[in-house]
Amino acid sequence: MMTKTYPRSNDLQTVYLNAVVKDPSIVVGDFTVYNDFRSDPRLFEKNNVLYHYPINHERLIIGKFCSIACGAKFLFNCANHTLRSLSTYTFPLFYDDWELDKKDVASAWDHKGDITIGNDVWIGYEAVVMAGVHIGDGAIIGARAVVTKDVAPYAIVGGVPAKEIRKRFSPEVIKRLQAWRWWDWPVDKIRESLPFLTSGDLEGLSANLKAVQKS
Ligand SMILES: CC(C)(COP(=O)(O)OP(=O)(O)OC[C@H]1O[C@@H](n2cnc3c(N)ncnc32)[C@H](O)[C@@H]1OP(=O)(O)O)[C@@H](O)C(=O)NCCC(=O)NCCS
């Protein structure tokens, strides 16, 4: 759990997300950041996690070291008027007017489940992630993408609906990065590895992994 809110002094537009999220059904890993230059980024729960009501018991789970750009949205199930019905009008929601049983209110919408985001995922400006979607480690979601299906690890996706543009690395490199899970290393080892991580030096990172395994 991050103990401070702002990773950069004098930048009130960027927050460590798990320092500001209060809803227990939103779980965010350490170092994941959200930037918002229009609204207060501390209002992420209210402005970005939409149609997310306790009655559905759905979770938004975001891994470590993710970067979430301004206006990205997570659209939960209460937005999905049920397609089982012959009408999309949410009759069960207006139980008083239609003299219906209040306990059936959740039948007004379809249930697609949690949204889960891996580690080291970059979500672009105003992207929308739909209910039930899983985004793999290392993926990139393009600006204004609408993500309706699962995204493979280290895939770059874009468009409406989001389609794979390409993978970030070869299958061999992706396999190694997924096995190494650098985001779970002790913070001091990650700090030591920054020259390799930031320059794309896979062999340098591999050498540091050996040091992590020995420690
Ligand atoms: C998705 C993204 C990472 C791709 O970057 P890239 O690999 O350098 O992209 P390119 O410009 O080489 O484009 C590759 C292809 O993807 C398409 N593409 C790029 N971005 C796209 C997007 N957001 N939505 C749909 N298609 C996109 C391009 O049209 C191109 O298609 P083509 O191969 O048919 O010609 C980038 O375009 C993007 O959206 N970044 C997010 C930016 C952002 O939101 N920043 C917020 C601040 S953190």
Cβ atoms within 10 Å of 196's Cβ, excluding its own: 18
Categorize the per-residue pLDDT at 67 as very low, low, confident or very high, splitting at 50, 70 and 90.
very high
Q: The domain 14-79+112-169 belongs to what CATH superfamily?
A: Hexapeptide repeat proteins (2.160.10.10)
Closest protein CA for atom 26 of ligand 1 = 158
pLDDT in tens, 116-139: 999 999 999 999 999 999 999 999
CA of 197 to the centre of ligand 1 (A): 22
d(CA 205, CA 185): 12
CA of 135 to the centre of ligand 1 (A): 17
Which runs of consecutive H residues, i.e. helices, occur in 50-186? Answer: 95-98, 171-180
pLDDT in tens, 145-173: 999 999 999 999 999 999 999 999 999 99
Which runs of consecutive H residues, i.e. helices, occur in 4-158? Answer: 17-20, 44-48, 95-98
pTM of the predicted model as reported, rounded to 2 decimal places: 0.95
Q: Answer whether 151 contacts ligand 1 (Cβ < 6 A).
A: no
CA of 142 to the centre of ligand 1 (A): 6
Q: Is the dihedral of CA 71, 155, 151, 181 positive or negative?
A: negative
Average pLDDT, the chain: 95
Q: How buried is residue 10: exposed, middle or buried, by Cβ count under 10 Å (0-12/13-18/19+)?
A: exposed
Residue 79 has pLDDT above 80, yes or no: no
- Is there a contact between 156 and 167 (Cβ–Cβ < 8 Å)? yes
Report the percent of the chain where pLDDT is more than 70.
100
Q: Answer whether 140 contacts ligand 1 (Cβ < 6 A).
A: yes
pLDDT in tens, 41-60: 999 999 999 999 888 889 99
Q: How far is CA 186 from the centre of its chain?
A: 22
User: What pLDDT score does 191 carry?
Assistant: 96
Q: Which residue of the set 52, 57, 81, 111 is catalytic?
A: 81
Q: Is 57 a catalytic residue?
A: no
